[in-house]
């Protein structure tokens, strides 16, 4: 047994609380099957109390200098560094990520988000445009909106909320956070770091509970002036409807097409495919979920892919330092993987490797790393976001066919292309309708200071996460005109 169970609280209005109703949600480890604790099953009254506290607290927080708020963000980062071991261990237990291969990295990136927000806040400046009247001066200030509602997913339970909360707090807003239910133990651990850094009461609030209740209230309540969401397209649309009229930042679904052209470095592309498909057990919005391979190199690429998978991928106990692939986080995700594989095989795809849940593990959430060949556009695995450890191969004639396939997809989040001809790669990148394109890198190559989000007209969201860019949503321009006479 890896841990003893504990009843964790939520954090509202400067106090740790069991919640209004006293009801609890049981947390079970996807890695071990053990009960690892309970969290409060928050209700709408809990959220309303948090929003009221946030609206009362944020003006005083906003009145501090950017450097004072930055100092608090850096204290959060210091505490995270001190608790690195516990945070990583909890992440593996609660979410399922391999401890050595992934969990420590997520904690380290969590530190980076708070330090980056601290720096960005001190550079959040306005401007002084000219007036038509020589006797007047115009000042444009960038000011906080007030209360930012944050709704975050379970696949990156530390960094995804942090890439929203850190810039929101650093730029002078208060936050009401609704974390995903299935990783709420991680959420409490992160909340402890923020609270212990000395953030004023009411400025930060965390309400655990069902998204349909807690998240819905965060989105719809008139007390949140901005709403930020990371998660599925279906849920994001509901959030957008409920938060209509507010400043929105929505980072939603993708299916990460990775295009391998006939002049690609196949060895490097095969290695990158493993990162694209298997990082986080494929449970990433940037995961490679469509592999479009030019027919001239299809057979050679598949051969190298199989060799790389045999060499590099190890499904196993996520606490084992040799494990690279851990369990899926929850049963609905595993069931979707089952359904997508079955649909593809039924429609004529060839199962090359995996395709089923692995036996001999503590839970049914361990899934074999899977390769499908002969995938066509009508298959679910090509049309939807699978969110599992799968490499679906589709043969293409040329790059124009790849562009047609990618640009006809409902998603527009990210794509990758592999070619030794950099001009060819750049032409592809400029033609493909996604918000981010990697040339000769995995779909999961990510740099946290850069703007990331979906292309307009797609089902992948609006606005940008990454670095200072969320501050453009969490603040607004205020115009002040001074009469000199």
Catalytic residues: 251, 285
* Other CB atoms within 10 Å distance of the CB of residue 352: 17
Q: Under a CB-based contact definition with an 8 Å cutoff, are residues 183 and 95 in contact?
A: yes
DSSP collapsed to 3 states, the chain: CCCCCCECCEEECCEEECCCCCCEEEEECCCCCCEEEEEECCCHHHHHHHHHHHHHHHHHHHHCCHHHHHHHHHHHHHHHHHCHHHHHHHHHHHCCCCHHHHHHHHHHHHHHHHHHHHHHHCCCCCECCCCCCCCEEEEEEEEECCEEEEECCCCCCCHHHHHHHHHHHHCCCEEEEECCHHHHHHHHHHHHHHHHCCCCCCCEEECCCCHHHHHHHHHHCCCCCEEEEECCHHHHHHHHHHCCCCEEEEECCCCCEEEECCCCCHHHHHHHHHHHHHHHHHCCCCCCCEEEEEHHHHHHHHHHHHHHHHHHCCECCCCCCCCCECCCCCHHHHHHHHHHHHHHHHCCCEEEECCCECCCCCCCCCECCEEEECCCCCCHHHHCCCCCCEEEEEEECCHHHHHHHHHCCCCCCEEEEECCCHHHHHHHHHHCCCCEEEECCCCCCCCCCCCECCCCCCCCEECCECCCCCHHHHEEEEEEEEECC
Measured distance CA(105)–CA(87) in Å, rounded: 11
Q: Cα–Cα distance between 83 and 95 in angstroms, integer?
A: 17
Distances (CA, A) of 476 to 140, 142, 234: 10, 5, 28
Q: Are 69 and 75 in contact (CB under 8 A)?
A: no
């Amino acid at each position: 047994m890896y841990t003893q169970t504990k009843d964790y609280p939520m954090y509202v209005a400067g106090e740790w609380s069991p919640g209004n109703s006293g009801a609890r949600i049981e947390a079970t480890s996807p890695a071990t099957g053990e009960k690892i604790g309970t969290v409060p099953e928050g209700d709408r009254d809990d959220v309303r109390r948090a929003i009221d506290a946030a609206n009362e607290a944020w003006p005083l927080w906003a009145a501090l200098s950017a450097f004072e708020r930055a100092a608090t963000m850096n204290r959060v980062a210091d505490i995270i560094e001190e608790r690195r071991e516990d945070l990583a261990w909890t992440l593996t237990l609660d979410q399922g990520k391999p401890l050595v291969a992934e969990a420590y990295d997520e904690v380290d990136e969590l530190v980076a988000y708070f330090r980056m927000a601290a720096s960005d806040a001190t550079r959040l400046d306005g401007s002084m445009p000219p007036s038509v009247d020589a006797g007047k001066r115009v000042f444009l200030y960038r000011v906080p909106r007030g209360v930012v509602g944050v709704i975050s997913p379970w696949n990156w339970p530390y960094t995804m909320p942090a890439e929203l909360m850190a810039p929101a707090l650093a730029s002078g807003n208060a936050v009401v956070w609704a974390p995903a239910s299935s990783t709420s133990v991680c959420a409490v651990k992160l909340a402890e770091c923020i609270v212990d850094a000395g953030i004023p009461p009411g400025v930060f609030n965390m309400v655990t509970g069902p998204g349909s209740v807690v998240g819905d209230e965060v989105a719809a309540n008139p007390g949140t002036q901005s709403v930020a969401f990371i998660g599925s397209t279906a849920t994001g649309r509901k959030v957008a409807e409920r938060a209509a009229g507010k400043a929105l930042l929505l980072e939603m679904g993708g299916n990460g097409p990775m295009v391998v052209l006939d002049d690609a470095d196949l060895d490097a592309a095969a290695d990158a495919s493993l990162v694209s498909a298997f990082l986080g057990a494929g449970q990433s919005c940037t995961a490679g979920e469509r592999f479009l391979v030019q027919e001239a190199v299809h057979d050679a690429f598949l051969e190298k892919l199989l060799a790389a998978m045999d060499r590099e991928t190890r499904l196993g106990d996520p606490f084992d330092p040799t494990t690279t692939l851990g369990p899926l986080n929850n049963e609905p995700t595993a069931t979707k993987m089952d359904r997508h594989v079955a649909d593809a095989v039924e429609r004529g795809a060839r199962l090359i490797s995996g395709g089923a849940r692995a036996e001999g593990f503590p839970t049914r959430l361990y899934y074999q790393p899977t390769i499908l060949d002969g995938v066509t556009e009508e298959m679910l695995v090509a049309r939807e976001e699978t969110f599992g450890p799968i490499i679906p191969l589709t043969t293409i004639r040329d790059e124009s066919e790849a562009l047609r396939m990618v640009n006809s997809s409902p998603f527009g989040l990210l794509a990758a292309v592999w070619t030794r001809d950099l001009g060819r790669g750049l032409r592809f990148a400029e033609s493909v309708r996604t918000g981010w394109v990697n040339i000769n890198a995995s779909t999961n190559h990510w740099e946290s200071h850069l703007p990331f989000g979906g292309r307009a007209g797609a089902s992948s969201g609006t606005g940008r996460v990454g670095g200072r860019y969320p501050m453009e949503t969490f603040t607004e321009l205020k115009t002040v005109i001074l009469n000199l006479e």
